[in-house]
Structure 1
Amino acid sequence: MDVRAALADVGGLGPFFEVGTNPAEQVDPTWRPMADLYSDPLPLGERIAHVRRVLDSDDRVAASIAFQGMAARVLSAPLAMVVLHGVLPALTARTLHWRVSLTGPWPLWADAPGGEHVPDDPDAAAGRLTDLLVGEHLRPLVEAVGRQVGISERILWGNAASSVAAGKRLIGTTRPEAADRAARIAAGVLARGPFATAGERRAPAPPDVGWTFQRRSCCLYYRVRDGGLCGDCVLNLRAGR
């Protein structure tokens, strides 16, 4: 099982799916394990402050948008790996690393990543994937953001669920032969743990296959100057859209 090659393959889906694996990066001391981000308040606080300045927003909006970007980064590659290669990569909070970037999403890197095959059954595969995503990354990140800013966990888990649905959609549009499996595995993720109350699956609207996600919360982006409502936002329902 060549996990490095598989990660390179899914990285081609887009920037949120990229996880570097070049061993030469070991010499760069700016790489830090994700566990540090969840426990050290300084870098996360600086990231939220950076987003606040860029968006000219308040702390809650900045925390929500910063969280959504980070959640999408840590969940997209494992989701695509399980869907496209049947492999759950060992991208834990200790083996997955980040470093600061002021020009876009923080890059991720893992040295000599391992992995394990997941069951062919989509629901069983989704269970293994959810355990990794929630236990290693999303729950610690939700708690870390909450220590920085007074923001509802409902908003943050809605952001994470929305990122799962967005990842499923992108996999399906770029690899149409995997669209059905992506929909089944992502549905299994969204039916579990804190995702289960974050939204619901509805009849698919193109380009979605299988279902379209409708969240039960709002990421607050509408409060940014010239911002608007995301397609899956609960406020669309309230506006009768």
Structure 2
Amino acid sequence: MVLLLVVDLDPDLAALRPLGAFFVLRTIGGPAGASPPTLPTLAQVYENQGSDVYGNTMTFRVRKVAAALRAPEPRIAASIAHQGLAARLWSVALGCAVRYGRIPDLSPGRLRWDPDASAPDELWLDAVAPLRGDAATIADVVLHGHLVPLAATLHSEYRLASGLLWGNAGSALAGAARQLGHHPELSDRVRGLTAELLAHPLLAGTLDGTTLRRRSCCLYYRLPGGGVCGDCCFTRAPRSSPRGASG
């Protein structure tokens, strides 16, 4: 059993900064200043509410990813956008859990999202309210609070298969844990939390238990020059694949 020192969450979540930009979470009123008031909350994004600046925020993000990667189908860009947001949420939650022993309340209504920005400038937290840093709390906050409604939105709008979406979620979790594992003082705690989270019913079976290779494909190989990811279920890019077969 790994003993964990629990410390107070500071208002700026400064302990996340040494972990890298992907783990940093801006806080409103923090060192970078207040969040622009026009940014939608993730609760609004999941409900497909429009934004004065971006219109449909998720559509804007998917189009931005599609243009950057020259994606031949919107659903490919949607899958990659999904994995990116999932990775950010996992990174913040895991980073706080292992650095502080607690996580902030990351409820969708408290997180504002700029779909035109990249980490760490795309997510803003309205205030730091501490929660427990155990796997059950992280699952409740990230899986049920964010990834369930996000998956429902993307499945409805882009017909992404559930297996693909939960494979993305499992892969994003493993990727965040892998990065934290580069810090030896955090590795034991990270492994324990990750193992518990991957055993959750929503994630169980999404990755091979030994190799952590995923059992579905994120569709990255369909991009021009995309190839396969390091944890892909394919060892080489298929020459062709029926629509939806890799979900």
TM class by shorter chain equals 0.7 to 0.9
Selected match of 1:183 from 173, 191, 202: 191
Contact 2:41-2:112 at 8 Å conserved across structures: yes
Question: Does 2:160 correspond to 1:145?
Answer: no
1:37-85 Cα deviation digits (max 9, x unpaired) = 1112611011112211221111121110010111111221111111222
Question: Does 2:122 correspond to 1:107?
Answer: yes
Contact 1:11-1:77 at 8 Å conserved across structures: no
Selected match of 1:3 from 3, 9, 17: 9
- Aligned equivalents of 1:8 and 1:127: distance in 2? 24
- Aligned equivalents of 1:77 and 1:161: distance in 2? 15
What residue is the counterpart of 1:51 in the other structure?
65
Displacement after TM superposition at 1:234 (Å)? 0.6
Higher share in helix: 1
Superposition RMSD on alpha carbons, in Å? 2.2
Question: Does 2:99 correspond to 1:88?
Answer: no
- Aligned equivalents of 2:122 and 2:35: distance in 1? 16
Contact 2:23-2:120 at 8 Å conserved across structures: no
Displacement after TM superposition at 1:14 (Å)? 2.1
What residue is the counterpart of 2:221 in the other structure?
222
- Aligned equivalents of 1:49 and 1:220: distance in 2? 16
Q: TM-score, normalised by structure 1?
A: 0.84
SS class of match (2:202): helix
Contact 2:61-2:116 at 8 Å conserved across structures: no
Is there any run of 5+ residues in structure 1 with no aligned partner, and where? 119-124, 203-211
Selected match of 1:160 from 137, 161, 169: 169
SS class of match (1:234): coil
Q: Which amino acid aligns with 1:218?
A: C
Q: Which amino acid aligns with 2:74?
A: D
- Percent same amino acid among aligned pairs? 35
- Aligned equivalents of 1:40 and 1:147: distance in 2? 11
SS class of match (1:215): coil
What residue is the counterpart of 1:196 in the other structure?
204
Displacement after TM superposition at 1:22 (Å)? 4.0
Displacement after TM superposition at 1:23 (Å)? 1.1
Contact 1:6-1:85 at 8 Å conserved across structures: no
SS class of match (2:107): coil
- When residues 238 and 22 of structure 1 are mapped into structure 2, their CA distance, relative to the original with a 3 A threshold, is closer
SS class of match (1:230): coil
Displacement after TM superposition at 1:238 (Å)? 9.8
What residue is the counterpart of 1:169 in the other structure?
178
SS class of match (1:139): helix
- Aligned equivalents of 2:237 and 2:199: distance in 1? 24
